[in-house]
Amino acid sequence: MNRYEKVFSTIESCEDAIVDYAVNLVRFPTTSGNEKGAQAYVKTIMTDLAFDPIDMWEPDIEKMHNHPAFISKRKDFKGSPNVVGILRGTGGGKSLILNSHIDIVPEGDPDQWHYPPFGGIVENGVIYGRGISDMKGTKAAIFGAIQALRKANIRVKGDITVQSVIEEETGSAGTLACALKGYQADAAIIPEPSGFKICPAQQGSSWFRIHVRGKSAHAGQRYLGVNAITKSTRVLTAIKTFEDHINKEYTSFLYKNVPIPFAINIGNIKGGEWPSTVPEHVVIEGRMGVPPGLSLNDAWEMFERWIKTETANETWLAENQPTVEWFGAHWGPAQIDPNHAIVKTATEAYSKVCETSPKIAGTPWATDGRILTEFADTPALVFGPGTSAHCPDEFMKIKDLICYAKILAAIIIDWCETDAL
């Protein structure tokens, strides 16, 4: 039995422990500000698995609030600690960060759930609950892989750092705090629910608000006013043509099977106050996908210039230009070379376990990958099982968690390198 077969067999014997980790984590309702109990449990797991050192701290907002990647609206992080544990290697191998967030999005309308959102119900080989896919299940798989490596007496040369971070869903503050504290490695894996796709590129995103001005008048004499709702249709057309443009200009084989790789979504339109009054102001709010390879600042500038140019041939809009405001959430894109060694290692590990080749793609959403790649000097790869994030009856198949734990173990063996058995 070779070292891979040995650890794979041990992971199968650890299935109950992996499921227990996952179920217990789901039962903590870790929305923003409520992570402390779950992180204490994570620290306990790390202690049991002999991580040393273990660092648990509440990020200092004063050290981050002027950073270009900091966007959190919180005043402090009291009650919201990060936990980082390190397994020291014997020396000489490459180091690896396994980064997963503990925070979740709210459960939404409980009437849309067939299972209690925080029940951690296991039924027919499936675990249900908010956060099981995004991404408490894979956090459990990380610990299962580590446990199996230890039980199989497989020691690696490179250091393994496991980061359980806060605030990913609201702007990556937890991973940013890790980066500013100096945590880095030769590569990182973020086990977001990519459906087992290996993703060297992560799309960025940014929220925008566009103000369209008109001129108020009585509806009976609407010809004396300028209807901002009518004028806003020209702006909506400009947004659509910009989406077409950016998807054409930044095409990538990593998004070849995605109908609209970098989508722009109009999520909210407000205008008018009274049926008998010509509306003088419309507000359009939306989310813009930002292609890897394009900075947020450049994307913002391109979008603003496009809106101005595409509406300039209409007299009223040329004289009363729509204004663009960037507000709320924005995440920068990230990208590593698809031929990077960590991509090759993950691909080979997947093939060892699944006996087929994985799909290489880019994510349709932002991740903490930018923080690791850009600010921690750690090339980050997104790769994980599951596809049901942010929805009612969020779920994860147990067989997928076991499969993922095996792949992670193979990645660790190959990337960090092992001592001779």
d(CA 344, CA 190): 16
pLDDT in tens, 185-211: 999 999 999 999 999 999 999 999 999
Structure tokens at 94: 């490459």
Q: How far apart are the first and last CA of the chain?
A: 12
d(CA 233, CA 282): 10
Catalytic residues: 103, 168
pLDDT in tens, 354-411: 999 999 999 999 999 999 999 999 999 999 999 999 999 999 999 999 999 999 999 9
**421 band by pLDDT with thresholds 50, 70 and 90:** low
Distances (CA, A) of 356 to 113, 254, 255, 338: 35, 19, 21, 18
Ramachandran area for residue 388 (φ above 0: left; ψ -120 to 50: alpha; else beta): alpha
CATH number for 3-202+333-416 (one of 2.30.30.280, 3.40.630.10, 3.40.50.1240, 3.30.43.10): it is 3.40.630.10
- pLDDT, mean of residues 314-331: 94
Within 58-168, residue ranges assigned H as helices are 137-151
CA 53 to chain centre: 26
**253 band by pLDDT with thresholds 50, 70 and 90:** very high
- Beta pairing class for 96-101 and 187-190: parallel
Map tokens 């102001």 to a residue. 281
**420 band by pLDDT with thresholds 50, 70 and 90:** low
- pLDDT, mean of residues 252-265: 94
pLDDT above 90 (res 102): yes
Domain regions of the chain by residue span:
3-202+333-416, 205-331
CA atoms within 13 A on the CB side of 371: 32
By CB atoms closer than 10 A (0-12, 13-18, 19+), residue 310 is buried
Q: What is the pLDDT of residue 306?
A: 98
Structure tokens at 39: 């992180």
The one-letter code for the residue type at 391 is C
d(CA 315, CA 234): 12
**Domain 205-331, second-level architecture:** 2-Layer Sandwich (3.30)
Average pLDDT in the chain:
96
- Beta pairing class for 198-202 and 360-363: parallel
Structure tokens at 175: 């991973």
CA atoms within 13 A on the CB side of 274: 10
d(CA 306, CA 234): 12
Structure tokens at 147: 């446990």
Q: What is the pLDDT of residue 171?
A: 87
pLDDT in tens, 207-246: 999 999 999 999 999 999 999 999 999 999 999 999 999 9
Nearest C-alpha neighbor of 202 from the set 151, 234, 168: 168
pLDDT in tens, 149-163: 999 999 999 999 999
Map tokens 């960025």 to a residue. 204
pTM for this prediction: 0.93
